[in-house]
Amino acid sequence: MALSWMAWTWETAAFFAIIAGLLVVMALWEWRRPGGAQRRGILGLDTTRGDRLFISLLGSAFIHLGWLGLLGEPLWGAVALSLLYATAVFRWV
Amino acid sequence: MGKTENQKAWFFVLPVFVLVAFNALIPLMAVVNYSVQETFGNNVFFFEGLKWFEEVLHSDRFHASLLRQLAFTGTILAIEVPLGVAIALSMPRRGPWVSVCLVLMALPLLIPWNVVGAMWNIFALPDIGLLGRMLNGLGFNYNYTQQPFSAWATLIAMDVWHWTSLVVLLAYAGLSAIPDAYYQAAKIDGASSWAVLRHIQLPKMKRVLTIAILLRFMDSFNIYTEPFVLTGGGPGNTTTLLSIDLVKMALGQFDLGRAAAMSIVYFLIILLLSWIFYAAMTREEGRS
């Protein structure tokens, strides 16, 4: 099947590969420790590991957009901030 | 504690995964790919990095469309949810009129979106439309084709007419599920109708109202056909909501890269706001 209409670039392929990799890691994590590790965090929400990944990814997207809108490129600062944010989400949310 | 799940169930879910992949995931991936490139057609693309995202984030046109979209969604939610609950509360719970009311409420939902737009387009015309002529006859200066305020009022009236029924039906389903024992207990305690609403009906409707608000929020944020047929985004750009602006950019100007970047920002905003709504409501539910 010709995929030229999808206009792949290595950058976007890497982006989706990272997302797919995260999902695989989450699946393995769930396989090793089933149940989703549900808990109530500082936001007062009942979240599972999957919810925390979703919150991390969504927040990271906005961190990157905010960085791009306010400070422009490069985005290494946004990447570092997103990693910190994701760590905080997985630790406390 | 042993694991007893039957993994065969996943095979039954497989067709849904394939369907979602083809109608959502693959197109979304293509949009992400387009958003970092420029094309002049013929399947030839030039890498542009994050240029389109920067342009969209700094674009006054995008900010204005987003503001209009938020104003539209906020207004229709503020009208449709209380109105839908009020209508559901006033509908009969038993007897032959139940079916009549339910069918009447379901009717607007059965009409295709472009037909709703066309109906209101003619209905509200100031010279030949029933609504337009009536309002002008009553002394109002009404012309939705030329006045921004009239255009907005017509747009909101059309959406309220079309979609309040959805809130009514969901709220009615929630009300019907409340056991009679609650009402009997309230009667014994001498509770007023306000107290019944506040402490029995609204809490019991919370789940369906969460669904209703989320559905109406997402749907109104994506709305395209009805305003496009009614006003075409005019007069000027005053009713150009996000989706209309997006289509103008993607198909009118064939500016695929910028339109793709705008789509992604648009998608993320919907995702964020939907999640905030959902989280706020389930958090309340968890507390209670």
B30 with A9: Cβ contact below 8 A = no
Q: What was the pLDDT predicted at B34? A: 94
pLDDT band at A43 (very low <50, low <70, confident <90, very high): confident
In chain A, what are the helix, strand and coil shares in percent, each to the nearest 5? 70, 5, 25
pLDDT (0 to 100) of residue B2:
53
Q: Does B288 touch chain A (CB under 8 A)?
A: no
b (16+ CB within 10 A) / e for A62-88: bbbbebbeeeeeebeebeebbeebbee
Q: Is residue B10 part of a domain?
A: no
**Which residue in chain A is spatially nearest to B3 when comparing CA positions?**
A34
Give the span between the Cα atoms of A20 and A14, in whole angstroms: 10
Please judge whether A46 and B282 are an interchain contact, meaning their C-beta atoms are less than 8 angstroms apart.
Answer: yes
Whether the CB-CB separation of A58 and A20 falls below 8 Å is answered with no
Q: Is A15 on the interface with B (CB under 8 A)?
A: yes
Reported as a single tens digit per residue, the pLDDT across B36-80 is: 999 887 888 899 999 999 999 999 999 999 999 999 999 999 999
Q: Please indicate, yes or no, if residue B231 is contained in any of the structural domains.
A: yes
Average pLDDT of B160-164? Answer: 96
| pLDDT for position B287 | 64
pLDDT confidence tier of residue B277, bands split at 50, 70 and 90: confident
**More confident: B45 or B168:** B168
pLDDT in tens, B214-269: 999 999 999 999 999 999 998 999 999 999 999 999 998 889 999 999 999 999 99
Residue A76 at interface with chain B, using a CB cutoff of 8 Å: no
Could you identify the residue written with the tokens 């910028």? B258
Rounded alpha-carbon distances, angstroms, from residue B104 to B97, B109, B277, B280: 10, 10, 30, 33
For chain B, how are helix, strand and coil distributed in percent, rounded to 5?
75, 0, 25
The structure's pTM equals 0.87
Cα–Cα distance measured from residue B132 to residue B139, given in angstroms and rounded to the nearest whole number:
11
In this predicted structure, the answer to whether residue A77 has a pLDDT above a threshold of 90 is yes
What's the angle, vertex CA B110, arms to CA B143 and CA B120, rounded to 5? 5
Looking at the domain assignment, is residue B57 inside a domain? no
Chain A environment of B50 (Cβ under 8 Å): 68, 73, 75
Nearest to B197 by CA among B215, B209, B212, B213: B209
Range of the domain at B142: 65-253+267-287
Instruction: State the burial class of residue B180 (Cβ atoms within 10 Å of its Cβ: 0-12, 13-18, 19+).
Output: exposed
Upstream peptide bond of A74 is cis (omega within 30 degrees of 0):
yes
Distance from CA of A87 to the nearest CA of B (A): 19
What is the predicted pLDDT for the residue at A6? 85
CA A33/CA A25 separation, integer angstroms: 12
Count of domains for chain B: 1
- Interface A:B, Cβ pairs < 8 A: 67
Interval B20-27 mean pLDDT: 89
Give me the pLDDT at residue A53, please: 96
**Residue B15 Cα distances to B7, B9, B232, angstroms:** 15, 12, 38
| Contact status, residue B33 vs residue A6, Cβ threshold 8 Å | yes
Mean pLDDT to the nearest integer, B87-98: 91
Task: Please tell me if residue B58 touches chain A, with a CB cutoff of 8 Å.
Answer: yes
ipTM confidence score: 0.92
The answer to whether the CB of B229 falls within 8 A of the CB of B239 is: no
The CATH number of residue B123's host domain is 1.10.3720.10
All residues of chain A having their beta carbon less than 8 Å from the beta carbon of residue B33 are: 6-9, 12
> Is a pLDDT exceeding 70 seen at residue A1?
no
Q: Give the mean pLDDT of chain B.
A: 91
The verdict on residue B51 lying in a domain is no
pLDDT at B1 over 60: no
| Mean pLDDT to the nearest integer, B118-144 | 94
**Chain A nearest C-alpha distance from B58 (Å):** 7
